[in-house]
């Protein structure tokens, strides 16, 4: 049976931005559609409209020529539209089976049978009786997918599904998606990873600034053409210049351990590595394998044994972040809005979070506002933050601009070492490019970087050395040239 | 057609306009309530809000009531600005009163300039000790400070009750639940002959100035603000977030304790069962009505103090229970929360022909 989904002249206006500007698109089952666009391009709004979360200001949705009234997520479910969100909506402490039946009004026995059939058919292996918190990200995603499949959907929408998966899990997911498609489910795949679009999809719709800019067959496109459509300008490709890096050691970590009291945190076991000036050490891994703990131990948010961290010939393991900054370390945490910056405070106040004795932001316990503001203006102009109002609350900056501000704040003091954690997470291509260029530049200035990231492409692009963290243990350090993404994937999954 | 749209960034003007709007709406609603009760609305409102402060004595009473409200609210603003929900100021006030009252009683038959400072200090320390309980439980045992601080209010009131009935009751007091009168050296000096307004008002004004300075001018204030928004950020910046939490509770407790001192060494002059007509709770409304801003709090404490006086006048002249005062306080908070909607949204008039 064929499914035809027609989006007709959909417009959604938010204050200050047109999220969807007269979008029309017709989709047919049997194909996998990619919906591609930068952050803020309007793809998630469009998807939220399809799943009933957002009601459009204008325009209509037709499924098989019937007009759909999508006023709530349950309307979407009733009309056989299934959606797997980027962030899982699962109850961690309930079992897989309980999660699957929780929003269904069918009989338990019937459901059990149904679930078994689905699992057999698509070769899913998930233990139904374990609590969800024990599952890997890939398995959690399978649970979400099964939850959609129980309702035998006509349309399945996947929102950036691979951001938390390993390479192996990703290829498994792709196989399943292709199978669904063959069975007549219309698949809409949202992403900004171009490689995946090329690998998986049949047609690609590109959005930019709320408008649908192109719909085309994948055969007529390549990665560069798609990137250009997405950004709307030709992108420079950046490559790291391989200079002869110095052999002067900057930081050395010896037998660093961290045992957490919190069962949801990961313990770090015997971390050992060293890094020279001008080098970038990439640390790969699937999120939740100890990256956050490693970052905190390196930044000093978690204090460890004094001798476990040697930086520039000083032992600094027992110092807090502010004290470590004095030794010329800088930190860019993963969570921009809850840790690296405070959205409710003005830009210049956020700049004052990185405070040195020599920066003179605070003299004798008093705030030196003019000094902070002067410094903030410098950061904004040097790091291309797109605003001229440093009194603006930082919540009004886009993700990319906020990240530029944070990186700028950390780098303007020219530290010897920058430790960053997923610095381009959730940013659009333009901002990612800028951040990458900046990181390469500071490497060239003989400064070092520790880059903890879940984005393998980013790591391969920027690192000189790469290690993989798995369950709190670091793999041996490899030269980046000898590493492929397949190899990383195996290590990330715990293989050898 | 009127459409509601989200504001980009709340303007300063609207930030201070909504409290005024809330007071205005409270007056209207109050008028309606009086009308339903069978009074002439305007006359009743006049008795409530204008008659009580029409003379010198009334004005002194206004300042007398506003003083503890202002002092406590200033302390609370430290907590609230840093997202620590201390709602037990009433308990900290009571405990401050107990400690300072105890010290004052030690000196009941002595005179000396040194007595008053000791008594005042004791009150501040008492409030701090009492506020440190929810603070320490929150930072080291992850308890909820709202519950702990609230429940401690009742504990402190029971302690006070026990003391004034039992060990501290006046031996010559015919078993009334009250202590001896404090000596004159333990009393805050009156500012004017025949009026009850006392030197405690200077404590409140000093608190206003100091809090403004700390919050807007110092590194300490900045760290408090950051820790309040996000402990994770505070940790990342290298601040001692837990210490900040304890510090704001201590400041808040000290202010409430001082308010307690002001009551017992000011108008009351001894300890008895009711040292405070719920100033500690009402000050929460004052703090928010004043937008947690020192100057705003001054105005808010005056406005809310009127509801105490008005309630008394209304009881005397109109035979309305004095609890009407609490109704008005409740309405102010209610309308303030409602009109805060305007901070984030605005009405837009749209041509309906389009």
Q: What is the ipTM of this complex?
A: 0.76
Return the biggest CA–CA distance within chain A: 75
Residue with tokens 């996000």: B230
Task: Out of B8, B226, B238, name the one closest to residue A323 (CB).
Answer: B238
Q: Does residue B289 carry a pLDDT above 70? A: yes
Q: Do B9 and A299 touch (CB under 8 A)?
A: no
Task: Out of B221, B225, B237, name the one closest to residue A321 (CB).
Answer: B237
Q: What is the CA radius of gyration of chain B?
A: 22
Q: Is the residue at A29 inside a domain?
A: yes
Does A217 share its domain with A310?
A: no
Q: Tokens at residue B203, please?
A: 């404590």
Q: Tokens at residue B131, please?
A: 């506020």
User: For B329-332, which contacts have Cβ atoms below 8 Å and span 24 or more sequence positions?
Assistant: B329/B282, B329/B285, B329/B304, B331/B25, B331/B26, B331/B29, B331/B30, B332/B22, B332/B23, B332/B26, B332/B285, B332/B289, B332/B303, B332/B304, B332/B307
Q: Is the residue at A243 inside a domain?
A: no
**C-alpha span between A145 and A116 (Å, rounded):** 14
Does A359 share its domain with A397?
A: yes
Phi first, then psi: what are they for A283, rounded to 5°?
-120, 110
Q: pLDDT per residue over B25-34, tens digit each?
A: 999 999 999 8
Domains of chain A: total: 2
Does A154 share its domain with A297?
A: no
Q: How close does chain B come to A322, measured CA to CA in Å?
A: 5
Q: How close does chain A come to B163, measured CA to CA in Å?
A: 43
Chain A residues near residue B225 by CB distance under 8 angstroms: 345
Question: What does DSSP assign to residue A66?
Answer: E
- Give strand pairing partners of A495: none
Q: Do A321 and B238 touch (CB under 8 A)?
A: yes
Beta pairing, strands A280-284 & A186-191: unpaired
Q: How close does chain A come to B130, measured CA to CA in Å?
A: 28
Pick the CATH number of B65-323 from 3.40.1620, 2.20.28, 1.10.260, 1.10.3470: 1.10.3470
Q: In Å, what is the CA distance from A168 to each residue of A475, A483, A487, A495, B67?
A: 18, 16, 11, 11, 69
Q: Is the residue at A239 inside a domain?
A: no
Count CA atoms within 13 Å of residue A175 on its CB side.
11
Residue with tokens 């300042």: B63
Task: Out of B9, B222, B235, name the one closest to residue A367 (CB).
Answer: B222
Q: Could you tell me which of B120, B124, B106, B62 has the C-alpha nearest to residue B310?
A: B62
Does A223 share its domain with A254?
A: no
Which pLDDT score, from 0 to 100, does residue B354 have? 43
Write the burial class of residue B145 (CB in 10 Å: 0-12 exposed, 13-18 middle, 19+ buried). buried
For residues A179 and B253, the model is more confident at B253
Which residues are CB-neighbours of A190 under 8 A, at least 6 positions away?
A34, A35, A43, A44, A47, A157, A158, A159, A160
Does A91 share its domain with A30?
A: yes
Does A118 share its domain with A175?
A: yes
- Give strand pairing partners of A5: A27, A63
Which residues are CB-neighbours of A155 under 8 A, at least 6 positions away?
A3, A5, A50, A63, A80, A81, A82, A185, A186, A187, A188
List average pLDDT for each run of 10 residues in chain A, which is 496 residues long. 86 77 90 82 86 88 88 86 84 89 79 87 84 83 87 88 78 88 91 83 88 89 80 58 70 90 82 92 86 93 91 92 92 89 91 84 88 92 86 84 92 92 83 90 91 86 91 90 78 73
Q: Which of A12, A15, A396 to mutate to test the interface with B (most CBs of B within 10 A)?
A: A15
Residues of B with CB under 8 A from a CB of A: 5-9, 216-222, 225-226, 229-230, 232-233, 235-239
Provide the b/e sequence for A66-77 (b: ≥16 CB within 10 Å): eebebeeeeebb
Which residues are CB-neighbours of B226 under 8 A, at least 6 positions away?
A342, A345, A353, B233, B234, B237, B239
- Give strand pairing partners of A420: A332, A451
User: For A367-376, which contacts have Cβ atoms below 8 Å and span 24 or more sequence positions?
Assistant: A367/B216, A367/B217, A367/B218, A367/B219, A367/B221, A367/B222, A372/A348, A373/A348, A375/A351, A375/A412, A376/A347, A376/A348, A376/A351
Which pLDDT score, from 0 to 100, does residue A245 have? 59
Does A168 share its domain with A307?
A: no
Q: Which of A339, A352, A363, A393 to mutate to test the interface with B (most CBs of B within 10 A)?
A: A339
**C-alpha span between B47 and B298 (Å, rounded):** 23
- Give strand pairing partners of A214: A206
Is the distance from CB of B165 to CB of B176 less than 8 angstroms? no
Which pLDDT score, from 0 to 100, does residue B193 have? 85
Which residues are CB-neighbours of A35 under 8 A, at least 6 positions away?
A43, A46, A47, A188, A189, A190, A191, A205, A207
Which pLDDT score, from 0 to 100, does residue A43 have? 85
CB atoms within 10 A of CB A36: 28
Q: Domain range holding A25? A: 4-231
Q: Is the residue at A238 inside a domain?
A: no
For residues B82 and B119, the model is more confident at B119
Q: Tokens at residue A361, please?
A: 């932001």
Count CA atoms within 13 Å of residue B338 on its CB side.
13
Return the CATH number at A107. 3.40.50.300
Q: Could you tell me which of A97, A100, A47 has the C-alpha nearest to residue A76?
A: A47
Which residues are CB-neighbours of B36 under 8 A, at least 6 positions away?
none
Task: Out of A323, A342, A396, name the one closest to residue B233 (CB).
Answer: A342
DSSP labels, B114-152: THHHHHHHHHHHHHHHHHHHHHHHHHHH---HHHHHHHH
What is the strand order of the sheet A186-191 is part of?
Answer: A81-84, A155-159, A186-191, A32-37, A203-208, A211-217
Q: pLDDT per residue over B155-209, tens digit each?
A: 999 999 999 998 999 988 888 899 999 999 999 999 988 899 999 999 999 999 9
Q: Tokens at residue A184, please?
A: 């007549």
CA B173 to chain centre: 31
Does A316 share its domain with A168?
A: no
Give the number of A-B residue pairs with CB atoms closer than 8 Å: 68
- Give strand pairing partners of A283: A452, A467
Q: Decide which of A200, A231, A262 is a domain's last residue.
A: A231
Q: Is the residue at A244 inside a domain?
A: no
Phi first, then psi: what are they for B238, rounded to 5°?
95, 15
Average pLDDT of chain B is 90
Domain boundary assignment for chain B: 65-323
Q: pLDDT per residue over B205-236, tens digit each?
A: 999 999 999 989 999 999 988 988 888 899 99
Q: Do A352 and B222 touch (CB under 8 A)?
A: yes
Chain B residues near residue A301 by CB distance under 8 angstroms: 235-236
Chain A residues near residue B236 by CB distance under 8 angstroms: 299, 301, 321, 331, 333, 339-340, 353
Q: How close does chain B come to A414, measured CA to CA in Å?
A: 17
CB atoms within 10 A of CB A208: 19
Full-model pTM: 0.73
**C-alpha span between A42 and A11 (Å, rounded):** 10
**C-alpha span between A291 and A342 (Å, rounded):** 22
Q: What is the mean pLDDT of residues B148-160?
A: 96
Does A202 share its domain with A273?
A: no
**C-alpha span between B34 and B351 (Å, rounded):** 39
Q: What is the CA radius of gyration of chain A?
A: 24
Q: Do A339 and B230 touch (CB under 8 A)?
A: yes
Q: Decide which of A231, A265, A286 is a domain's last residue.
A: A231
Q: Is the residue at A481 inside a domain?
A: yes
**C-alpha span between A31 and A440 (Å, rounded):** 40
Q: What is the mean pLDDT of residues B323-352?
A: 83
**C-alpha span between A239 and B226 (Å, rounded):** 39
Q: Is the residue at A241 inside a domain?
A: no
Chain B residues near residue A15 by CB distance under 8 angstroms: 5-8
What is the strand order of the sheet A17-28 is part of?
Answer: A17-28, A4-14, A58-63, A66-67
Task: Out of A301, A325, A365, name the one closest to residue B219 (CB).
Answer: A365
Q: In Å, what is the CA distance from A487 to each residue of A74, A168, A275, A472, A480?
A: 42, 11, 22, 19, 11
- Report helix angle B279-289 to B294-318, nearest 10: 130
Does A349 share its domain with A214?
A: no
Chain B residues near residue A372 by CB distance under 8 angstroms: none
Is the distance from CB of A29 to CB of A209 less than 8 angstroms? no
Does A113 share its domain with A205?
A: yes
Q: What is the mean pLDDT of residues B326-354?
A: 80
Residues of A with CB under 8 A from a CB of B: 14-16, 299-301, 320-325, 331, 333, 335, 338-342, 344-345, 349, 352-355, 362, 365-367, 392-393, 396
């Amino acid at each position: 049976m064929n499914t035809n989904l027609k989006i007709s002249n959909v417009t959604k206006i938010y204050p200050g931005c047109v999220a969807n500007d007269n979008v029309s698109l017709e989709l047919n089952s049997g194909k996998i559609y990619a919906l591609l666009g930068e952050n803020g391009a309007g793809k998630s709004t469009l998807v939220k409209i399809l799943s009933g979360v957002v009601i459009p200001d204008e325009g209509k949705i037709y499924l098989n020529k019937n007009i759909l009234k999508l006023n709530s997520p349950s309307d979407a479910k009733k009309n056989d539209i299934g959606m797997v969100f980027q962030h899982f909506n699962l109850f961690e402490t309930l079992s897989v089976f309980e999660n699957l039946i929780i929003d269904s009004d069918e009989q338990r026995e019937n459901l059990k049978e149904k679930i078994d059939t689905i699992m057999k058919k698509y070769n899913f292996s998930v233990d139904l009786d374990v609590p969800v918190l024990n599952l890997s990200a890939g398995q959690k995603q399978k649970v979400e997918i099964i939850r959609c499949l129980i309702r035998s959907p006509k349309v399945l929408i996947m929102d950036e599904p691979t951001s938390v998966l390993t390479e192996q899990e990703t290829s498994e997911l792709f196989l399943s998606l292709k199978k669904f498609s063959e069975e007549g489910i219309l698949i809409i795949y949202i992403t900004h990873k171009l490689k995946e679009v090329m690998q998986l999809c049949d047609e690609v719709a590109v959005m930019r600034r709320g408008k649908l800019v192109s719909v085309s067959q994948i055969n007529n496109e390549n990665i560069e053409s798609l990137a250009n459509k997405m950004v709307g300008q030709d992108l420079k490709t950046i490559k790291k210049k391989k200079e002869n890096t110095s052999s002067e050691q900057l930081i050395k970590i010896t037998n660093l351990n961290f045992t957490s009291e919190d069962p949801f945190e990961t313990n770090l076991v015997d971390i050992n590595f060293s890094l020279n000036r001008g080098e970038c050490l990439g640390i790969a891994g699937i999120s939740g394998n100890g990256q956050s703990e490693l970052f905190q131990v390196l930044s000093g948010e978690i204090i460890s044994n004094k001798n476990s961290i040697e930086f520039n010939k000083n032992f600094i393991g027992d110092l807090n972040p502010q004290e470590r900054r004095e030794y010329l370390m800088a930190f860019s945490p993963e969570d921009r809005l809850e840790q690296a910056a405070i959205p409710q405070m003005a830009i210049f106040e956020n700049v004052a979070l990185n405070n040195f004795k020599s920066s003179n932001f605070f003299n004798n316990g008093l705030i030196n506002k003019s000094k902070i503001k002067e410094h903030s203006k410098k950061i904004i102009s040097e790091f291309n933050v797109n605003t001229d109002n440093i009194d603006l609350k930082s919540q009004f900056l886009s993700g990319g601009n906020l990240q530029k501000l944070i990186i700028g704040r950390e780098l303007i003091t020219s530290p010897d070492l920058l430790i960053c954690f997923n610095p381009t997470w959730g940013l659009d291509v333009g901002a990612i490019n800028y951040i990458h260029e900046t990181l390469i530049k500071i490497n060239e200035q003989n400064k070092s970087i520790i880059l903890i990231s879940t984005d393998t492409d980013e790591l391969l692009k920027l690192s000189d050395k790469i290690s993989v963290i798995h369950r709190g243990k670091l793999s041996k350090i490899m030269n980046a040239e000898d590493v492929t993404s397949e190899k990383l994937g195996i290590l990330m999954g715990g293989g050898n | 057609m009127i459409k509601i749209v989200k504001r980009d960034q709340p303007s300063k003007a609207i930030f201070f306009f909504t409290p005024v709007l809330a007071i205005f709406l409270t007056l209207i609603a109050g008028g309606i309530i009086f009308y339903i009760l069978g009074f002439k609305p305007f006359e009743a409102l006049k008795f409530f809000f204008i008659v009580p402060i029409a003379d010198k004595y009334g004005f002194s009473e206004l300042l007398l009531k506003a003083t503890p409200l202002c002092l406590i609210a200033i302390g609370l603003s430290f907590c609230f600005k840093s997202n620590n929900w201390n709602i037990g100021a009433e308990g900290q006030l009571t405990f401050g009163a107990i400690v300072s009252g105890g010290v004052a009683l030690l000196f009941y038959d002595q005179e000396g300039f040194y007595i008053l400072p000791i008594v005042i200090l004791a009150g501040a320390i008492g409030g701090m000790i009492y506020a440190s309980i929810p603070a320490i439980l929150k930072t080291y045992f992850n308890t909820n400070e709202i519950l702990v601080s609230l429940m401690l209010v009742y504990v402190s009131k029971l302690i006070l009750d026990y003391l004034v009935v039992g060990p501290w009751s006046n031996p010559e007091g015919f078993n009334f639940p009250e202590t001896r009168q404090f000596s004159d050296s333990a009393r805050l000096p009156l500012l004017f002959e025949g009026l009850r307004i006392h030197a405690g008002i200077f404590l409140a004004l000093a608190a206003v100035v100091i809090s403004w300075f700390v919050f807007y001018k110092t590194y300490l204030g900045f760290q408090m603000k950051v820790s309040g928004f996000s402990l994770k950020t505070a940790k990342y910046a290298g601040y001692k977030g837990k210490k900040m939490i304890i510090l704001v509770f201590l400041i808040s407790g000290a202010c409430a304790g001082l308010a307690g001192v002001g009551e017992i060494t000011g108008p009351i002059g001894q300890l008895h069962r009711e040292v405070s007509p719920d100033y500690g709770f009402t000050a929460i409304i004052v703090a928010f009505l004043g937008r947690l801003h020192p100057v705003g709090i001054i105005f808010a404490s005056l406005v809310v103090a009127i509801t105490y006086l008005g309630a008394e006048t209304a009881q005397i002249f109109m035979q309305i229970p004095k609890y009407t005062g609490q109704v008005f306080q409740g309405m102010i908070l209610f309308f303030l929360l409602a009109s805060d909607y305007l901070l984030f949204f605005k009405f837009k008039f749209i041509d309906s022909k389009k």
